[in-house]
Amino acid sequence: MSTRKQDGTILDSPSRTQLIEIFPAETPGIAADSHPGFQREHNEDSFGTSVVPSGAALLFVADGIGGNTGGDLASQFTTKSLLAQWKRFASDSMPGADATAAFFRSALEDINRTLYRTNADQGTLSAPMGTTIAALALLTAQIVIAHAGDSRVYRIRANRLECLTADHSLVQKWVREGVMTEMDAKIHPMSHVIYKSIGQQRTLEPDITILDRKPGDKFIVCSDGLMCHVADPEILDIVKRSKTAQDAVRGLITTALKRGGFDNVTVACCFQHS
């Protein structure tokens, strides 16, 4: 993982894309990091964190689609664009949940439109660059989630881990339909095929979810490089044993790497935010 100065800037970052906004040191309740793993030549994951003057916070992970040209570019562009649009939207006053949901729909459709047009102009629609998105906005008493692909948002509440997103993957669709078991889904050759993402289709309709917030809630946003190595009970155990969000991020990524690090792995955590 990268080394940071005390002000949070990157000293050496071979595992990280370059469009990342490191979270300010004075807000220790939120942390994020990424590692390319040991099997991939470069990291196609990106992430963003931002707390604007109104107090609204944003955490998200974008996992560039592997096997296609430009997955890293798609995730980096998504990160840069979503952070810029978030700051314009939420800086002046704390937004409401409905307005934040509308923001996510508009911002992600705008990003999707740009990436799709780039694919069309470059003649790459047969294997288009694209990325997943799992985004979490923390407001005064609610959270808003925007999601496309197989990156995930988890919540830990009352010592219980709950996945707040449903993977847009073929195998998870078959699991939900009762056609396949979770065990079969993990080893199926199409386990990484997703049917919804940013940039690969002309239009995008992300899943948008509005939920309440309660004191003590903890949140994890991650790419599938975590889930392919670390099971949900282990995720819960690592987070429960972690005193800070930084400890949780470090523990989750380290565990994924010890299991082989077969994919890029990115984790963002929020332990507290008021």
> Which range scores top for mean pLDDT: 67-76, 179-188, 203-212?
203-212
Task: State the average pLDDT over residues 239-255.
Answer: 94
The angle subtended at Cα 199 by Cα 266 and Cα 49, nearest 5°, is 35
- Of the CA atoms within 13 Å of residue 123, those in its CB half-sphere come to 0
Residues 30-67: pLDDT tens digits?
Answer: 999 999 999 888 899 999 999 999 999 999 999 999 66
228-234 long-range contacts, CB within 8 A, separation 24+: 228/256, 228/262, 228/263, 229/255, 229/256, 229/259, 229/260, 229/261, 229/262, 229/265, 230/255, 230/256, 230/259, 232/161, 232/163, 233/161
| Amino acid sitting at position 226 | L
Average pLDDT, integer, range 188-202: 83
Domains and CATH numbers, the chain: 3-166+199-270 (3.60.40.10)
User: Rounded mean pLDDT of the chain?
Assistant: 86
How wide is the angle at C-alpha 154 spanned by C-alphas 152 and 160, nearest 5°? 150
